[in-house]
């Protein structure tokens, strides 16, 4: 074709002084002088293909029709490892294209030399390559990460990444594949703008807490809106989503991107779509994983001897005349190990918990389809086991065994050429068996169990040879916790299900107006939960009549009347919920030369009904109704503008306040597409600025049980307000329940609104490094809060609330990506992200404090207020001569607080803001991936900063209510012999010492950490070998999570924060296999 | 086809949008309960009436009555909560123990709502309406009085302020004490005529308010107003509102006592007119030949623990002594020691045991025939002690030759514990008794339970309660006596002595109470046995006698706490150390050594509760109490 041209212009195909640059089919060409590479002439040659003649007035111009310029291009597409099948190769600006075959090859006719081919595949960075005289184009695709995807799912549609005005982050599905059955655990550090952390490792209870750009409201709902295929679902539903099924995962952060969700988007939106079938042979994918998990850190307890010694000290140090619990003789004999039944020394932890546990996950999906219908069907099975031991004498399993099943079927039917119907059916089911109290409670019970009072159980003796039950140990009246008995006495089943059905109808209305389409979607979901416990009341025995000389003892039952050998039964709470949702939308999308125009109008309604609300007003349906819209305009891929709005109604408000209008707008400028930028483009491949501004509403204000602010709520049958009279049978047999006002009406209460601003800068360098930095701020107004100026003498039984609070938030999200292929066989990518999100009270109604430092204004919404602990009192005398502390008895060795206002007393007025907020302000993550031939390796680090948490001084108060002694406390506490005023734990006490358990800086700890979140090592079978087993993909991998943790805090896994005595966060070693067949 | 579908879908959109306009969000059906529903019918209004009653503080309840265990009448094992911390001097203004301020103001608001709206109820007879209004006015008076007694002068809420009231309007001031008392009395006066004289339907209404109750409460209110704490108390002179109004009247006024005496007399006569009389035990079929000694004890115990006995003027049906009886009962039956229902965890200290008279009806320190100095010595019981002490049991001298109320009120090592199904005292060695030395069944050392002083409360345990096997414990519950006739008699004696000096009526009413307790008259007891035989002849001497009589007669009935405060004698009594026996001992000689358990302290600030600091932060017009 080029040769044809040369021949035509210069008369010779072999020699021509000019070079040509060809663009589209109706092409104008520049004549470029060879050698100089500069434009020497702009004269145009115009050729009329119909008459095959030059236009008379411009004899040197040429025009060719597309037909003439047809050309065949061929090539092979591969990634760093191997050839790639199924890569789409499309001529840019058209829909024309092919996909590569099994050996990665493609053949494509292009219209002319100026054509540009776009190579794309999910999970890979798209590449555009100009044909420019080439006949063979071989491409190596590089795996993509979030910021590079071409198309981004946005509210009610998709936009090209390069056209985005709003702030949307995506997480690549690859990053979501972590060795856990809980998707939310994968979120931390993966995307800029998300603050996430995980407080528990218990299967079924291990959802991470996550916030989009932090918390900026003091209402009850602080978590983002979660939409899966357009359906609003809960965090647990997101947690159970299979990463294999996810096609896209977007997080919308600013006003423009969330405005279409009007009422519900103020805390950000997480939008997930699942995979759809594509035309082609059916493809089968299979993933199998087996992992071993073990706690990252164990809380270390003091040994039994130390426990007894310090317990005695705890009594005597407070009351020298007190009676100690453990006589010297008991301690001596326990040390000697004389008779472990009589002198028990229990390591409850060892008795209850295993060192590690094994979990399995499997996922299978089939997709494919023909011209009429395409399908994506998947099923998955996850089995998570707890770390609890099981007593073989029982034939039931009291360990946690959480089985989670998912079935998903997405079917697309092409009803007519312009009508498409999509049916999505999805069921998600959890079947759980586990200890009656749950795993975390078992950990807490161990913490509250006396290690030396009695053994877990007594061996059967002659006296009790006929009993069939386990003879559990206890003491006194049997009111002590025997965690072993509590764990093995029975088991609990729970069952959670979620059924979703969705019908989506798409109608292309190009016939009416070009670029117009219509879509309607209806979905409903039903969720349910119930639990059933089966257990016996354990027989408790206590030791009596131990005879030292003969070393014999007797055991007596304590609870003959209440204990059972047979199982009892108890039904737990049940929840049943249904949701109905409908949305209809008109969509317009058209390109007029350089002008891109799109419009969207959505109508939506949603209803949620709860079966066991517990109250008439709560039982009424929750409803939202709204119209939203979006209009975008772009010019020449350089200038972009977007306007969105949500007009929403919520049933919670009085009729006049019911609807809120939330507009927003934004602009973007792709500087790198400007003509003047051309020279820089090889270096700065992308430079873009974005700015948005807008309003978002929130109707999830106050508390979830506080609905219909315009109505008073009265409990007309309140048992707590009952009175009884009469002298008949019973003491006062005539009882009438009373009336309680639980809410005073206020018709003025309305939406909380957020005014959000977002500024973003995108930079791409050398096509390898991309940086995206965003700055945002936000003002929340009309936050519902309790009027604090109303004195108690008013006698109100419910708080009076009003939309008076204001808060601000601001922060930065930065993400960076780097990728490079060093050769066809070696590739490298690295990325990192950083999120800083802070908040402040701006208007907070509070009493007029005399002490200005008590005001919350200007402090973070998650700021803790407490006392400043100076140190421990040296002795009683110092305590007596210091400002009076008002919490309970105290003396030497107890915490000395700072009298901030110097009034001689420690009261609430001495509480100041202490530490960092309780929700971290900084989250970051970074990692790299490396591929060499068939091997790949990746590592990912994640960290938090600017967070404080508090060791729970009540839960860790040794000896109070038989609480165990932390080893760390036993090694550092104030004692009369060793008056360490900076010891970890104050003077021992056998009860909870209220003076020492106030919220103060004493137990405040820095929550920041950096952890090696995940490393993975994978091996993909080379194509040749794959073909031999007829697989299209075969990869085995090993990964591990939470391998290393860098933190100043050592008592337990710092990520658990104040919840450290619960079920520990787990370290997981995982082996997996990925297998696909085409 | 294509066009057909297009137009169909468009039509569908139109229908959906039209069909579901704003009505979609009207989810609240009519007739959702609001406050107006409470006064549409009699049955609903009755609920509101009961709501007003529901705020009645549960006197005698361990967790609801600071006066029961927050003073010095009983001690508890360490670690118990409720008001034990108050007894230990841990009252504070950050989170005041037993803070009634919020709940009673809520109660007052509900009373006002009731009074504002009760006129609307159509199907209510006028007599019933009047009765209800009167009852609620009584409650409103009582709630104000309760706060007044705790916090001293308080802001009065004569009428409710609207919810959207101006912020300056809601920042109320404390009213001076005299004004508070006057308002409480005014409310009782308004309430009295509309109340019934007696309860017509005891099965349904027993416990509701009657005229005798209202007049007795009025007597109590006026006697409180006349007592030194409120009458001419100069300690509190500095307590003034921000506008300078003094909250306490520092000038003593005898007329306060006069009107208190009049009110007491009036209350007594109305009680007599409806048949309320001092309770005397009449043996029933199970106990036909009960000895005189135990009959007197039964009269004493059952005047409190027998429900609706003849001297009850007002019993609080919101507070039933059933759980309480478990907490104070101990293991008196040696055959049944496994149960955990009986706790025995409320223990009177030694000073309470010493407070009771000798058998001659005079204080142990005054009785010529009783060896006060040797009271901690030990001796073995004699045959004549058989209804009081286990035969041949060695116990403290303190336990010998005491008045019947000592034996009726207290359980102790070697003491007889009559009841538990064994009602025949023909053979006293069959009767249950306590063994309270170390490792004995009622002794110290049982995990979580048992006495901390060596004493148990017997008075509040009904004699027919039975501890069964396992954890069974059959309790005869009774509504807590708020005011009984003996209380009223003693109030009258006190007021009259203050108002007119030792006139005949003072002795008459004092002796009525003493007679029921098996004691001789004041005159004869003091004349014959006291080392200070003329004590009763002077007003001041008689005052001490009346006060001690009152503390003994009303022991463990939540009265001592308030009485010591209003007499301003708490600074003396509550600074005496809490003592018990040496519980860790197994031998009598070692066991009967008084041991200090706790050094209780009481300062001038303790006469009133602190006002929660945060309430003052919200309302700077509230002035804090003295010393807090």
User: By percentage, how much of chain A surpasses pLDDT 90?
Assistant: 40
- Interchain proximity B46–A605, CB inside 8 Å: no
- pLDDT per position as a tens digit, A929-988: 998 888 999 999 999 999 999 999 999 999 988 899 999 999 999 998 989 999 999 999
Q: Which residue of A has its CA nearest to B448?
A: A476
Report pLDDT for A6. Answer: 54
Nearest to A723 among B35, B50, B155 (CB): B50
Residues 6+ apart with CB under 8 A from A191: A146, A169, A170, A171, A251, A815, A833
CB A341 within 8 A of CB A331: no
A/B interface, count of CB pairs below 8 Å: 254
Strand positions, DSSP E, A536-658: 540-547, 552-557, 568-571, 575-592, 595-610, 622-635, 639-650
Residues of A in contact with B144 (CB under 8 A): none
- Interchain proximity B9–A505, CB inside 8 Å: yes
DSSP string, B172-239: PPPPPHHHHHHHHHHHHHHHGGGS-SS-S-HHHHTTS--HHHHHHHHHHHHHHHHSTTTSS--GGGG-
CB atoms within 10 A of CB A263: 26
Better-scored residue on pLDDT, A731 or A49? A731
- Interchain proximity A658–B22, CB inside 8 Å: yes
- Interchain proximity B94–A908, CB inside 8 Å: yes
Q: How confident is the model at residue A543 (pLDDT cuts 50, 70, 90)?
A: confident
| Res. A503: pLDDT tops 50 | yes
Nearest to A886 among B16, B49, B92 (CB): B92
Scored b (16 or more CB within 10 A) or e, B588-626 reads beebbebbebbebebeeebbbbbbbbbbbbbbebbbebb
List the single range of A145-149, A683-687, A784-788 with lowest mean pLDDT.
A145-149
- pLDDT per position as a tens digit, A878-921: 999 999 898 888 999 999 999 999 988 898 889 999 999 998 99
- Interchain proximity B25–A792, CB inside 8 Å: no
Average pLDDT over residues B388-409: 94
Give how far A897 is from chain B: nearest CA, Å.
15
d(CA B171, CA B621): 6
CB A423 within 8 A of CB A411: yes
List the single range of A68-72, A174-178, A605-609, A1029-1033 with lowest mean pLDDT.
A68-72
- pLDDT per position as a tens digit, A1039-1077: 999 999 999 998 999 999 888 888 999 999 999 999 988
Residues 6+ apart with CB under 8 A from A133: A2, A113
Q: How confident is the model at residue A148 (pLDDT cuts 50, 70, 90)?
A: very low
Residues of B in contact with A415 (CB under 8 A): 5
Q: How confident is the model at residue B373 (pLDDT cuts 50, 70, 90)?
A: very high
Report pLDDT for A12. Answer: 55
CA A384 to chain centroid, in Å, comes to 19
Residues of B in contact with A511 (CB under 8 A): 2-3, 6
Average pLDDT over residues A274-297: 89
> Where does B70-201 have alpha helices with state H?
84-87, 101-117, 126-151, 167-170, 177-191
Report pLDDT for B10. Answer: 59
d(CA A536, CA A530): 20
Residues of A in contact with B105 (CB under 8 A): 792-795
User: By percentage, how much of chain B surpasses pLDDT 70?
Assistant: 95
Report pLDDT for B106. Answer: 95
Nearest to A793 among B157, B320, B448 (CB): B157
- Interchain proximity A738–B51, CB inside 8 Å: yes
Average pLDDT over residues A335-360: 90
Average pLDDT over residues B339-350: 85
| Res. A67: pLDDT tops 50 | no
Give how far A697 is from chain B: nearest CA, Å.
17
- pLDDT per position as a tens digit, A436-495: 888 888 998 999 999 999 999 998 888 888 888 889 999 877 889 999 999 999 999 999
Closest CA to B542 of B619, B483, B490: B490
Residues of A in contact with B209 (CB under 8 A): none
- Interchain proximity B47–A733, CB inside 8 Å: no
Report pLDDT for B503. Answer: 94
List the single range of A650-664, B268-282, B343-357 with lowest mean pLDDT.
A650-664
- Interchain proximity A887–B448, CB inside 8 Å: no
- pLDDT per position as a tens digit, A573-589: 889 999 999 999 999 98
Q: How confident is the model at residue A692 (pLDDT cuts 50, 70, 90)?
A: very high
Phi-psi region of B575 (alpha: psi -120 to 50; beta: other; left: phi over 0): alpha
Better-scored residue on pLDDT, A679 or A68? A679
Report pLDDT for A1078. Answer: 76
Average confidence score pLDDT of chain A: 85
- pLDDT per position as a tens digit, A696-753: 888 888 887 778 888 888 888 899 999 999 987 666 789 999 999 888 888 888 888 8
Give how far B511 is from chain A: nearest CA, Å.
31
| Res. B623: pLDDT tops 90 | yes
Scored b (16 or more CB within 10 A) or e, B144-155 reads bbbbbbbbbbbb
Average pLDDT over residues A335-353: 89
Look at the block and give the residue holding tokens 């595949």.
A121
Residues of B in contact with A648 (CB under 8 A): none
Give how far B80 is from chain A: nearest CA, Å.
10
- Interchain proximity A416–B2, CB inside 8 Å: yes
Residues 6+ apart with CB under 8 A from A291: A179, A358, A359, A360, A361, A1068, A1069, A1070, A1071
Better-scored residue on pLDDT, A37 or A722? A722
Report pLDDT for A915. Answer: 93
Interface mutation vs chain A, best among B50, B462, B597, most A CBs within 10 Å: B50
Q: Which residue of A has its CA nearest to B471?
A: A561
Nearest to A722 among B54, B206, B618 (CB): B54
Report pLDDT for B22. Answer: 62
Using CB atoms and an 8 Å cut-off, which of residues 789-818 of chain A contact chain B?
Answer: 789-797, 800
- Interchain proximity B614–A908, CB inside 8 Å: yes
| Res. B18: pLDDT tops 70 | no
- Interchain proximity A795–B3, CB inside 8 Å: no
- Interchain proximity B51–A739, CB inside 8 Å: yes
Q: How confident is the model at residue B17 (pLDDT cuts 50, 70, 90)?
A: low
Residues of B in contact with A790 (CB under 8 A): 170, 618
Using CB atoms and an 8 Å cut-off, which of residues 940-999 of chain A contact chain B?
Answer: 990-991
Nearest to A907 among B1, B3, B613 (CB): B613
Give how far B554 is from chain A: nearest CA, Å.
22
List the single range of A388-397, A805-814, B343-352 with lowest mean pLDDT.
A388-397
pTM of the model: 0.77
- pLDDT per position as a tens digit, B242-272: 999 999 999 999 999 999 999 999 999 999 9
Give how far B38 is from chain A: nearest CA, Å.
7
Average pLDDT over residues B529-536: 94
Nearest to A561 among B78, B204, B471 (CB): B471
Q: Which residue of A has its CA nearest to B582?
A: A321
- Interchain proximity B318–A625, CB inside 8 Å: no
User: By percentage, how much of chain B surpasses pLDDT 90?
Assistant: 72
Nearest to A726 among B29, B105, B205 (CB): B205
d(CA A843, CA A850): 18
Give how far A322 is from chain B: nearest CA, Å.
10
Give how far B628 is from chain A: nearest CA, Å.
10
Residues of A in contact with B612 (CB under 8 A): 792
- pLDDT per position as a tens digit, A369-389: 887 899 999 999 999 999 998
- Interchain proximity A518–B10, CB inside 8 Å: yes
CB atoms within 10 A of CB B18: 8
Q: How confident is the model at residue A147 (pLDDT cuts 50, 70, 90)?
A: very low
Using CB atoms and an 8 Å cut-off, which of residues 322-351 of chain A contact chain B?
Answer: 323
């Amino acid at each position: 074709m080029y040769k044809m041209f040369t021949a035509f212009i210069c008369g010779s195909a072999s020699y021509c002084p000019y070079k040509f640059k060809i663009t589209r089919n109706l092409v104008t060409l520049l004549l470029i002088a060879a050698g100089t590479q500069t434009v020497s002439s702009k004269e145009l040659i115009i050729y009329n293909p119909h008459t095959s003649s030059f236009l008379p007035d411009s004899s040197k111009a040429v025009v060719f029709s597309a037909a003439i310029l047809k050309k065949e291009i061929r090539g092979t597409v591969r990634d760093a490892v191997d050839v790639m099948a199924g890569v789409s190769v499309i001529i840019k600006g058209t829909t024309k294209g092919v996909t590569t075959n099994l050996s990665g090859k493609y053949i494509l006719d292009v219209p002319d030399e100026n054509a540009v081919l776009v190579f794309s595949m999910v999970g890979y960075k798209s590449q555009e390559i100009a044909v420019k005289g080439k006949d063979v184009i071989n491409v190596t695709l590089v795996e993509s990460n979030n910021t590079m995807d071409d198309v981004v799912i946005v509210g009610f549609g998709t936009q090209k990444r390069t056209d985005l005005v709003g702030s949307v982050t995506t997480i690549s599905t690859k990053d979501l594949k972590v060795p856990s059955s809980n998707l939310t655990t994968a979120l931390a550090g993966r995307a800029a703008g998300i603050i996430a952390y995980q407080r528990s490792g218990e299967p079924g209870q291990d959802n991470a807490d996550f916030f989009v750009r932090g918390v900026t409201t003091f209402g009850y709902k602080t978590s983002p809106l979660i939409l899966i295929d357009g359906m609003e679902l809960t965090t647990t539903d997101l947690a159970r989503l299979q990463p294999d099924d996810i096609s896209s995962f977007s997080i919308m952060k600013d006003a423009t991107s969330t405005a279409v969700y009007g009422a519900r988007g103020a805390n950000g939106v997480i939008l997930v779509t699942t995979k759809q079938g594509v035309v082609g042979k059916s493809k089968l994918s299979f993933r199998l994983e087996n992992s071993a998990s073990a706690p990252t850190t164990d809380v270390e307890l003091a040994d039994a001897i130390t426990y007894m010694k310090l317990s005695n000290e705890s009594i005597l140090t407070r009351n020298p005349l007190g009676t100690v619990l453990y006589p010297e003789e008991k301690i001596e004999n326990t040390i000697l190990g004389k008779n472990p039944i009589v002198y028990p020394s229990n390591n409850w932890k060892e008795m209850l918990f295993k060192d590690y546990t094994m979990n399995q996950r499997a996922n299978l999906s089939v997709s494919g389809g023909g011209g009429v219908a395409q399908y994506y069907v998947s099923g998955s099975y996850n089995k998570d086991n707890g770390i609890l031991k099981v007593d073989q004498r029982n034939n039931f399993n009291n360990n946690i065994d959480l089985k989670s099943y998912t079935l998903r079927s997405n079917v697309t039917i092409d009803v007519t050429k312009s009508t498409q119907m999509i049916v999505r059916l999805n069921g998600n089911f959890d079947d759980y068996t586990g200890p009656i109290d749950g795993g975390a409670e078992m950990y807490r019970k161990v913490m509250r169990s006396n290690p030396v009072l009695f053994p877990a159980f007594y061996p059967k003796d002659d006296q009790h040879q006929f009993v069939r039950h386990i003879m559990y140990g206890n003491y006194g009246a049997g009111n002590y916790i025997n965690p072993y008995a509590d764990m093995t006495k029975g088991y609990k089943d729970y069952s959670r299900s979620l059924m979703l059905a969705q019908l989506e109808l798409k109608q292309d209305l190009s016939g009416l107006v070009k670029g117009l389409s219509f879509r309607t979607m209806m979905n409903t979901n039903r969720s349910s939960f119930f639990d059933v416990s089966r257990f016996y009341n354990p027989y408790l025995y206590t030791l009596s009549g131990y005879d030292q000389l003969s070393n014999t003892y007797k055991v007596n039952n304590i609870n003959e009347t209440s204990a059972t050998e047979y199982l009892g039964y108890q039904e737990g709470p049940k929840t049943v919920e249904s949701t109905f949702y409908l949305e209809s939308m008109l969509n317009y999308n058209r390109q007029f030369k350089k002008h891109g125009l799109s419009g969207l109008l959505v109508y939506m309604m949603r209803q949620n009904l709860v079966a066991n609300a517990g109250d008439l007003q709560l039982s009424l349906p929750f409803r939202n109704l709204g119209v939203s819209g979006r209009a975008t305009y772009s010019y020449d891929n350089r200038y972009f503008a977007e306007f969105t709005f949500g007009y929403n109604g919520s049933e919670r408000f009085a009729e006049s306040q019911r609807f809120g209008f939330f507009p927003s707008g934004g602009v973007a400028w792709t500087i790198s597409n400007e003509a003047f930028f051309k020279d820089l483009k090889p270096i700065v491949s992308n430079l873009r600025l974005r700015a948005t501004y807008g309003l978002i509403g929130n109707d999830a204000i106050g508390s979830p049980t506080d609905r219909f602010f315009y109505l008073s709520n009265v409990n007309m049958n309140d048992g707590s307000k009952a009175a009884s009279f009469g002298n008949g049978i019973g003491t006062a047999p005539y009882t009438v329940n009373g009336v309680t006002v639980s809410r005073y009406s206020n018709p003025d209460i309305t939406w909380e609104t957020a005014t959000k601003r977002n500024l973003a800068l995108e930079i791409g360098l050398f096509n390898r490094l991309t940086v995206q930095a965003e700055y945002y701020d936000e003002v929340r107004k009309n936050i519902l809060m309790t009027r604090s100026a109303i004195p108690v003498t008013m006698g109100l039984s419910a708080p009076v609330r009003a939309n008076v609070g204001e808060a601000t938030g601001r922060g930065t999200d930065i993400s960076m990506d780097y990728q490079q292929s060093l050769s066809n066989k070696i590739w490298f990518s690295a990325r990192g992200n950083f999120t800083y999100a802070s908040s402040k009270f701006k208007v907070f109604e509070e009493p007029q404090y005399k002490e200005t430092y008590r005001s919350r204004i200007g402090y973070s919404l998650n700021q803790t207020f407490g006392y400043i602990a100076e140190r421990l009192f040296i002795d009683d005398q110092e305590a007596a001569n210091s400002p009076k502390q008002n919490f309970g008895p105290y003396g030497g060795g107890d915490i000395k607080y700072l009298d901030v206002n110097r009034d001689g007393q420690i009261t609430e007025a001495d509480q100041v803001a202490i530490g960092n907020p309780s929700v971290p302000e900084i989250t970051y993550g970074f990692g790299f991936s490396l591929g060499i031939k068939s091997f790949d390796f990746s590592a990912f680090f994640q960290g938090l900063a600017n967070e404080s948490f508090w060791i729970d001084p009540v839960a860790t108060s040794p000896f109070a209510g038989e609480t165990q002694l932390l080893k760390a406390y036993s090694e550092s506490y104030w004692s009369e012999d060793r008056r360490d005023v900076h010891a970890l734990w104050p003077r021992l006490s056998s009860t909870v010492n209220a003076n020492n358990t106030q919220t103060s800086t004493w137990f405040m700890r820095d929550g920041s950490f950096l952890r090696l979140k995940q490393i993975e090592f994978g091996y993909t079978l080379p194509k040749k070998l794959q073909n031999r087993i007829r697989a299209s993909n075969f990869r085995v991998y090993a990964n591990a999570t939470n391998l290393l943790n860098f933190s100043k805090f050592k008592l337990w896994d710092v990520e658990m924060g104040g919840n450290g005595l619960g079920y520990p966060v787990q370290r997981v070693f995982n082996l997996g296999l990925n297998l696909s067949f085409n | 086809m294509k066009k057909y579908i297009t137009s169909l879908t468009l039509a569908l959109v139109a229908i959906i949008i039209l069909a579901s306009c704003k009505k979609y969000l009207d989810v609240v059906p009519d007739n959702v309960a609001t406050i107006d529903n409470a006064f549409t019918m009699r049955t609903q209004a009755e609920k509101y009436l009961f709501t007003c009653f529901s705020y009645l503080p549960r006197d005698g309840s361990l967790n609801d009555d600071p006066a029961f265990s927050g003073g010095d009448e009983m001690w508890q094992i360490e670690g118990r909560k409720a008001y034990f911390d108050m007894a230990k001097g841990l009252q504070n203004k950050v989170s005041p123990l037993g803070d009634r301020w919020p709940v009673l103001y809520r109660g007052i608001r509900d009373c006002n709502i009731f009074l504002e709206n009760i006129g609307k109820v159509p199907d209510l007879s006028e007599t019933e309406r009047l009765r209800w209004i009167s009852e609620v006015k009584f409650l409103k008076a009582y709630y104000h009085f309760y706060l007044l007694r705790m916090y001293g002068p308080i802001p009065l809420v004569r009428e409710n302020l609207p919810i959207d009231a101006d912020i300056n309007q809601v920042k109320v001031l404390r009213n001076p004490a005299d004004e508070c008392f006057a308002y409480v009395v005014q409310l009782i006066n308004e309430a009295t005529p509309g109340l019934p004289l007696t309860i017509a339907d005891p099965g349904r209404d027993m416990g509701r308010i009657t005229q005798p109750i209202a007049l007795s409460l009025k007597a109590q209110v006026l006697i409180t107003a006349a007592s030194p704490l409120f009458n001419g108390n100069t300690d509190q002179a500095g307590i003034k509102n921000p506008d300078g109004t003094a909250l306490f009247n520092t000038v003593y006024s005898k007329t306060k006592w006069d009107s208190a005496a009049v009110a007491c007399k009036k209350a007594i006569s109305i009680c007599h007119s409806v048949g309320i009389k001092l309770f005397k035990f009449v043996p029933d079929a199970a106990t036909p030949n009960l000895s005189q000694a135990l009959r007197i004890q039964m009269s004493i115990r059952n005047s409190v623990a027998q429900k609706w006995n003849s001297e009850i003027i007002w019993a609080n049906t919101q507070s039933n002594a059933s759980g309480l009886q478990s907490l104070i009962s101990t293991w008196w039956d040696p055959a049944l020691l496994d149960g955990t229902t009986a706790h025995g965890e409320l223990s009177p200290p030694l000073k309470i045991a010493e407070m009771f008279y000798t058998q001659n009806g005079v204080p142990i320190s005054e009785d010529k025939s009783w060896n006060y100095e040797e009271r901690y010595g030990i001796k073995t019981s004699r045959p004549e002690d058989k209804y009081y002490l286990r035969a041949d049991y060695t116990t403290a001298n303190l336990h010998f030759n005491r008045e019947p109320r000592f034996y009726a009120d207290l359980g102790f090592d070697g003491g007889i514990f009559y009841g538990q199904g064994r009602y025949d005292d023909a053979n006293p060695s069959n009767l249950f008794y306590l063994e309270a030395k170390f490792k004995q069944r009622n002794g110290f050392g049982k995990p979580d339970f048992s006495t901390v002083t060596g004493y148990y409360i017997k008075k509040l345990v009904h004699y027919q309660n039975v501890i069964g096997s396992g954890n069974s414990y059959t309790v005869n519950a009774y509504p807590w006596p708020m005011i009984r006739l003996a209380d009223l008699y003693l109030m009258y004696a006190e007021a009259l002595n203050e108002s007119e000096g030792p006139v005949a009526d003072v002795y008459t009413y004092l002796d009525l109470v003493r007679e029921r307790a098996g004691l001789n008259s004041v005159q004869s007891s003091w004349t014959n046995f006291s080392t200070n035989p003329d004590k009763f002849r002077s007003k001041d001497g008689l005052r001490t006698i009346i006060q001690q009589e009152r503390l003994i007669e009303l022991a463990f009935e939540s009265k001592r706490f308030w009485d010591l405060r209003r007499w301003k004698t708490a600074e003396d009594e509550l600074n005496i150390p809490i003592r018990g026996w040496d519980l860790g001992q197994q031998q009598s000689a070692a066991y009967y050594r008084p041991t200090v358990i706790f050094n209780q302290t009481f300062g001038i600030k303790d006469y009133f509760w602190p006002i929660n600091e945060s309430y003052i932060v919200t309302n700077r017009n509230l002035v804090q109490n003295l010393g807090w």
